[in-house]
A and B are shown apart, each in its own frame.
Chain A
Amino acid sequence: MTSQPILETRDLTKSFGSFTAVAGVSLEFATGQIHAVLGENGAGKSTLMKLLFGLHRPSAGEILLDGEKVSWRSSMNAIARGLGMVQQHFSLVDTLSAIDNIMLGAEVCRGPSLVGKLDRHEAIARLEKLLPSRSLAVPWDALVGTLTVGQKQRVEILKLLFRKSRILFLDEPTAVLTPTEIEELFSVLRELKAQGRTIVLITHKINEVLHICDTYTVLRAGKMVTRGSVSTVTIDHIVESMIGRKLPDFSVDRHPTTSDMVLECLDVKEESRAGRRASGDDGTLSRGKLNDISLKVHAGEIVGVAGVEGSGQSHLVEVLFGLRNVSGSVKILGKDVAALNSRQIRDLGIGLVPEDRHHQGLWLDESCFTNMVIGIEGRFLRGQIFQFRDLEKTTAEWARDFDVRASSLDLPVGRLSGGNQQKVIFAREVSGRKPKLLVCHQPTRGVDLGAIDLIHRKLIELRNSNLGVLVLSSELDELLKLCDRIYVFFEGRVVCEFARASFDRMRIGAAMTGVADGH
């Protein structure tokens, strides 16, 4: 590669007991380039980063910075030497201004350090000198809580620049951004690259990031399987390296949609102070509140809800399942659900794959068997008493339907991989419940590519067998691939609706940020 690499690892290995999380990884990050580190969940990306940042000590191998061997005593050493990371989940104080957040821990003070006066002007002046262009600037005095997700991410990047980081690691940087915001992020990254900084993107979203990267490194099961220059590689090759096999083409027949309505929402609106207590309400600002939502799902149709997270998707799901009070009407399979409680609504024949697998979907300490009967345990009861033999036999069949891979279904579901956990939920909600309407919220979040492929195929299969499916996802590509129609949510409203024939990534992306173009 070019010149001397700024950061290099040689046979880096980290074992935890008998488990080797990172096995003999040798890689180089050349100065002033953008590098992609790709791999599925559990491929060893996180452990590798922790090694680079001194949060783990290597079991074997070495790390070289500027050509010289380093051994970090703690992450403070690594940061002092110019490494910096933007984590996927931002660590910002919402109630402080942008500039205060940037300074936090490296404050510019006039006078003695503890009681000195914060010199924000000086901090801003220093910062602006560092900026490649105005595109990275944010309103310095605005409270971080009022910024958009894209701006918050820029604050995180600015924090690193302010600390003179030379190598910027970004963990899943595109996960929470809209297509427009992603483009903005990429132009910022290009400018930083032009300044001579080295950037490492850690991600499993190949399609989104690859074109701005110079090199790629693929990890699988702790080993580096391939690396090279982006200019000479195909996406298919990378996907194959990531999962260790070829994914079959995703081309499926779509049966025609019927006209039977399985879900109809009309003018659904949250009153102020709506929402039942104890509903796990996150104290959402008004932007997540539903405002005159009208939508329909027919049998044999996959309908998508696109939108930045927190645009009302979670509230909509709670409304559909009777967990949140609203005005307007919600009809499921022709029945108005206003007078029904959550159990009665569920028993109409409606399945749910909830957003938060670990809290809403699964009881992690309990066995797969147990998890597969939550909410539908009635069919395994004689009187009030569980019939375990029937339960274990039947749920094992459901697990087979969705190819749940576990050495035993007696295992606590928390020990399964993310993909298998999600399959357990699908097995329960589809094979177990046999619904007429299936609501999937972030159906493939944190799920490996193989399981994503399986889930997507199953959804199309269900659609073709005349099920109505509502998919709420922040992965636009997923929606484009699956849906017959897409509603775009923005600040609790439906801003527009697209039919499959008129899907357009950029226009849907624009609508997600509130720019409706009257469709």
Chain B
Amino acid sequence: MGIDFRARVGALVPPILALFIGLSASLIIAAVVGESPLKVLEILLSGALGSATKIGYSLFYATPLLLTGLSVAWAFRAGLFNIGAEGQMTLGGVAMAIVGISFPDLPWIVALPLALFAAFATGGTWGAIAGWIKAKRGCHEVLTTILLNFIAYGLASFLILSVFKNPESQVPETAMVGAGYQIPALSGSLGNLIGGTSPLNLSLGFSLLMVAVYGFIFKRTRLGFYQKIAGGAPEVGRFAGVRIDQQTILAMFISGGIAGLAAVSPVLGFAYKTREGFTGNVGFVGIAVALLGRNSPSGIVFAALLFGVLTKGALDLDLDTKYVSRDLATVIQAFIVLAVASQAGLSSLWASLWPSSVSRIGRTAK
């Protein structure tokens, strides 16, 4: 138990350190360009957490990050690097809109599950293509998922602009989904206590539920066990009778599916239609969420909330500071990712300096 507890506490150190490094480095940059770091920090915090509405916005921005982070984390667990969450999410959003436009009169109890299913299946299929190519042809998923992103953008543009276009709008967006598909904002509930007047909606609960399901699957089920074997010890699985190629395809299907679901808050919970470029890089930030959260359910929640807070807090930088803009949030994220990545690098560097520099001679059998 003692060891277990220490390991748990120890696991918290790297992400917190990464956050600290990322924040400090960015504040130093702010100072270099002539902005007071304390002021920047204050704007970030008050902008993100200063009122119920601001907190609501932070949570609203965190909602899709929970799911894209989860998507990337699932793939990581299975030994795969899904850089395609952005494209998968885009197509998921398009699928929601298509269903919502095609069957507008369904009651919400049917409509919402149907739209979610369509988004999952579409994003999943997009992911599974990369999984299939990897399993059968050995082409690395990093390459294929990046390339599939571009195809997804093109496909989405075509569908949004040419097939399901909103005829009354100049903006590249689809028509509205039916009323049954629209998830209302929480604003107004409990006298604006939750989320103030922000567009925060029940998608947050759904996303948190998905994180919990993910945790359960990887802790307790055969599916999670096989996925982990595919990621951690594929040869062991192969000799034990686990079809690793199938697991790879399945992993990319589920990962892509979760990314497809990430469209739920921006599409069904906010705009009620799908705009071109509605994802706003959430798919890529999901990679940072998974890395910072170390693929653990609680870590993903922590990282998604953190990045939600950063996104919201940084919006006020445009107005309230002279020299830095909202892009500082991206800089902070980038530094955090660098810090997380270099921790792995640093420890392996450390390992290579310490024991293995001496293992060149007299290495025993295995």
Contacts and interface: CB of A to CB of B under 8 A. Distances in A.
A446 B239 contact: no
B7 to A, nearest CB: 11
B205 interface: no
A347 B237 CA distance: 14
Interface bin, chain A? 35 or more
Contacts of B358: 50, 55-56
Contact of A87 (B136, B235, B362): B362
Interface size range on B against A = 20 to 34
A55 B360 contact: yes
A278 B245 contact: yes
Contacts of B360: 55, 75
A357 B361 contact: no
B138 A278 contact: yes
A333 B144 CA distance: 43
Interface in B229-249: 229, 232-233, 235-245
Contacts of A378: 222
Contacts of B361: 49-50, 53, 55, 75, 85, 87
11 contacts: A46-B362, A53-B361, A55-B358, A280-B238, A342-B241, A346-B240, A346-B241, A356-B235, A360-B235, A374-B229, A385-B222
Interface string A474-487: 00000000000000
A100 B364 CA distance: 27
Interface string B208-225: 000000000000111101
A149 interface: no
Give the top 10 A-B pairs by smallest Cβ distance, nearest first. A375-B240, A363-B233, A346-B241, A49-B362, A343-B241, A46-B362, A446-B365, A55-B358, A359-B235, A342-B241
Contacts of B101: none
A263 to B, nearest CB: 17
Contact of A384 (B223, B240, B359, B362): B223
Residue among B137, B233, B243, B361 having the largest count of chain A Cβ atoms under 10 Å? B361
B23 interface: no
Contact of B221 (A202, A386, A445): A386
A375 B242 contact: yes
| Interface core residue of A88, A354, A366, A374 (most chain B CB under 10 Å) | A374
Interface in A320-364: 321, 323, 341-347, 352, 354, 356-364
A179 interface: no
A202 B363 CA distance: 11
A418 interface: yes
A358 B241 contact: no
Contacts of B220: 385-386
Given A347-B241, A384-B223, A46 B364 contact: yes
A384 B363 contact: no
B132 to A, nearest CB: 13
A269 interface: no
A175 interface: yes
Interface in A466-516: none
A66 interface: no
Contacts of B233: 359, 362-364, 366, 374
Nearest to B357: A55
B8 interface: no
B135 interface: yes
A418 to B, nearest CB: 7
Interface in B338-366: 357-366
A41 B238 contact: no
B365 A175 contact: yes
Contacts of A89: 363
Contact of A363 (B137, B236, B243): B236
A374 B365 contact: no
A360 B236 contact: yes
Given A343-B243, A374-B229, A374-B237, 4 more contacts: A360-B238, A374-B240, A384-B222, A446-B366
B236 A323 contact: no
Contacts of A346: 240-241
A445 B240 contact: no
A363 B222 contact: no
A45 interface: yes
A365 interface: yes
Contacts of A366: 232-233
A50 B225 CA distance: 40
A21 to B, nearest CB: 11
B239 A361 contact: yes
Interface in A9-57: 41, 45-47, 49-50, 53, 55-56
B365 A41 contact: yes
Nearest to B221: A384
Interface in A385-415: 385-386
Nearest to A378: B222
Nearest to A277: B138
A478 to B, nearest CB: 15
Contact of A88 (B136, B239, B359, B365): B365
A8 interface: no
A385 B138 CA distance: 32
A85 B361 CA distance: 8
Contacts of A376: 240
A56 B238 CA distance: 39
B362 A362 contact: no
Given A384-B221, A385-B220, A385-B221, A352 B365 contact: no
A56 B354 CA distance: 11
A354 B232 CA distance: 17
Contacts of A352: 239
A56 B358 CA distance: 7
Instruction: Choose among B220, B236, B239, B360 the residue with the greatest number of A CB atoms under 10 Å from its CB.
Output: B239
Nearest to A57: B358
A342 B243 contact: yes
Interface string B130-157: 0000011110000000000000000000
Given A75-B361, A363-B232, A385-B221, A418 B366 contact: yes
Nearest to A279: B238
A270 interface: no
Interface in A202-226: 202
B362 A357 contact: no
A365 B223 contact: no
- Which one of B220, B221, B243, B366 has the greatest number of beta carbons of chain A within 10 Å? B366
Contacts of A47: 362
A279 B238 CA distance: 9
Contacts of B223: 384
Contacts of A171: 362-364
B364 A357 contact: no
A377 interface: yes
Contact of B243 (A46, A87, A341): A341
A381 interface: yes
B102 to A, nearest CB: 34
B222 A343 contact: no
A292 interface: no
A365 B363 contact: no
A184 interface: no
A45 B362 contact: yes
